[in-house]
């Protein structure tokens, strides 16, 4: 017997840093406000001409190296992103070409910050069904390209980066143990890009009112996040008949330190088991969880057989959690 699990992991963030002090020069804000309200100190942003698929490519190369594989070993590519290179075709197709994974099926999934967890559920189901063997799953975002740099309530929050995993067969008692996921489209209005789609194509007016960028009701998303993070984590543990004490590492979506702190308190998990890197990168949406997981693995925080809980939430509204036995 076998199970689907992570065979290799890698991540990449662009070189260019934007600190809170840089933001002070761009919008009416302060390092003090951003630090106390969010925990974020700096974030990375792409250079001109650097696309989401380029970030995905760098992370993918590292994940392949970690899995001791070459692009020829991959038989399916999934990219989770809310900041695709273009509205169509899928960013996964650009990645497929750049990697040279000849003819393999490639597609994107759209689940905002929950994208990596949604994507992992797809990859897991494919491997367990035997339909595909080695799947490259990437969370990649150039959020700096879709935020309004004149809107202080959003531009301070986000950052760019990518995290990739190769999902394939592992021994039966290891790997991805299960999922709990959900969505509530009645909350779509709280976090969206209002224009540019079929229901509201871009016109001079939409561009003038900057509706082609992310708009967010921060306090609504905050309340939703605090409620769902705790609930979905408890649900997945219950489903898998695990206790909080069985979890060795918690890798939460990196949106706001106050959201993480509140979930940690409600879950009653030791803080030294919690991975936090949002101070360095801000919210990288679908890339946040795989980048944080990669950093935890590479810094030796994950040992053989450890149980890792990943949990995320975001636009949609969407949410999800999974437990991986390493």
Please give the size of the binding site for ligand ACO, defined by CB under 6 A: 23
> Token digits for 103?
């003819």
Binding mask 151-170 for ligand ACO (x = CB under 6 A): -xx--x--------------
Q: Which is nearer to ligand ACO, 128 or 183 (CB)?
A: 183
Residue 251 CA to its chain's centroid (Å):
11
Q: Which is nearer to ligand ACO, 151 or 248 (CB)?
A: 151
Binding mask 95-124 for ligand ACO (x = CB under 6 A): -----------------xx-----------
The verdict on whether 155 is a catalytic residue reads no
> Token digits for 139?
């969370």
183 near ligand ACO (CB under 6 A): no
70 near ligand ACO (CB under 6 A): no
Binders of ligand ACO in range 253-312 (CB under 6 A): 255-256, 283, 285
Virtual CA dihedral for 174, 175, 178, 183, nearest 10 degrees?
170
> Token digits for 135?
């799947």
Stretch that binds ligand ACO, among 26-34, 70-78, 233-241, 273-281 (CB under 6 A): 26-34
- Sequence-ordered list of residues with C-beta below 8 angstroms from that of 14, at least 6 positions apart, any chain: 44, 45, 46, 47, 50, 55, 160, 161
Residue in 153, 282, 269, 264 with CA at minimum distance from that of residue 210:
153
Distances (CA, A) of 247 to 165, 206, 215, 262, 278: 21, 47, 35, 18, 21
Element (H, E) at 307: strand 307-314
CB of 164 to ligand ACO, least distance (A): 19
The verdict on whether 283 is a catalytic residue reads yes
CB of 225 to ligand ACO, least distance (A): 5
33 near ligand ACO (CB under 6 A): yes
Residue in 175, 82, 171, 93 with CA at minimum distance from that of residue 136:
93
321 near ligand ACO (CB under 6 A): no
Annotated active-site residue in 51, 93, 101, 113: 113
Q: Which is nearer to ligand ACO, 66 or 141 (CB)?
A: 141
Q: Which is nearer to ligand ACO, 31 or 75 (CB)?
A: 31
The verdict on whether 101 is a catalytic residue reads no
Q: Which is nearer to ligand ACO, 155 or 269 (CB)?
A: 155
The owner of tokens 């030294």 is 272
Q: Name which position in 3, 29, 183, 262 contacts ligand ACO (CB under 6 A).
A: 29
Residue in 52, 61, 72, 239 with CA at minimum distance from that of residue 160:
52
- Sequence-ordered list of residues with C-beta below 8 angstroms from that of 298, at least 6 positions apart, any chain: none
Stretch that binds ligand ACO, among 69-77, 218-226, 273-281, 298-306 (CB under 6 A): 218-226
Residues 14/161, Cβ–Cβ less than 8 Å: yes
Three-state DSSP state, 169: strand
Helix axes 52-66 and 91-99, enclosed angle (nearest 10): 50
Residue in 186, 272, 183, 270 with CA at minimum distance from that of residue 232:
183
Residue ranges in contact with ligand ACO by CB under 6 A: 29, 33-34, 37-38, 112-113, 152-153, 156, 191, 216, 218-219, 221-222, 225, 255-256, 283, 285, 314-315
Catalytic residue positions, numbered: 113, 253, 283
């Amino acid at each position: 017997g076998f199970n689907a699990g992570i065979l290799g992991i890698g991540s990449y963030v662009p070189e260019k840093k934007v600190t809170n002090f840089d933001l002070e020069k761009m919008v009416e804000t302060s390092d003090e406000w951003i630090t106390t309200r969010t925990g974020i100190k700096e974030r990375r942003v792409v250079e001109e001409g650097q696309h989401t698929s380029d970030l995905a490519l760098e992370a993918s190369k590292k994940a392949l190296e970690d899995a001791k594989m070459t692009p020829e070993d991959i038989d399916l590519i999934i990219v989770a992103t809310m900041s695709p290179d273009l509205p169509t075709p899928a960013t996964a197709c650009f990645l497929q070409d750049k990697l040279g994974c000849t003819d393999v099926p490639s597609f994107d999934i759209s689940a905002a910050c929950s994208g990596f967890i949604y994507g992992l559920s797809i990859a897991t189901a494919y491997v367990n069904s035997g339909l595909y063997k080695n799947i490259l799953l990437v969370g990649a975002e150039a959020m700096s390209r879709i935020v309004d740099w004149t809107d202080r309530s959003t531009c301070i929050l986000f950052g760019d980066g990518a995290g990739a995993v190769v999902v394939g067969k592992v021994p039966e008692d290891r790997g991805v143990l299960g999922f709990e996921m959900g969505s509530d489209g009645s909350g779509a209005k709280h976090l969206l890009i209002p224009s540019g789609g079929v229901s509201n194509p871009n016109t001079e007016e939409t561009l003038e009112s900057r509706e082609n960028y992310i708009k967010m009701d921060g306090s609504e998303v905050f309340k939703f996040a605090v409620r769902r993070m705790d609930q979905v984590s408890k649900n997945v543990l219950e489903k898998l008949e695990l206790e909080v004490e069985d979890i060795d590492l918690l890798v939460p979506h990196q949106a706001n330190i106050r959201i993480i702190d509140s979930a940690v308190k409600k879950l009653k998990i030791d803080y030294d088991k919690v991975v936090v890197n949002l101070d360095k990168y801000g919210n990288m949406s679908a890339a946040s969880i795989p980048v944080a997981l990669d950093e935890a693995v590479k810094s030796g925080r994950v040992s053989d057989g450890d149980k890792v809980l990943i949990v995320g939430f975001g636009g949609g509204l969407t949410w999800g959690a999974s437990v991986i036995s390493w």
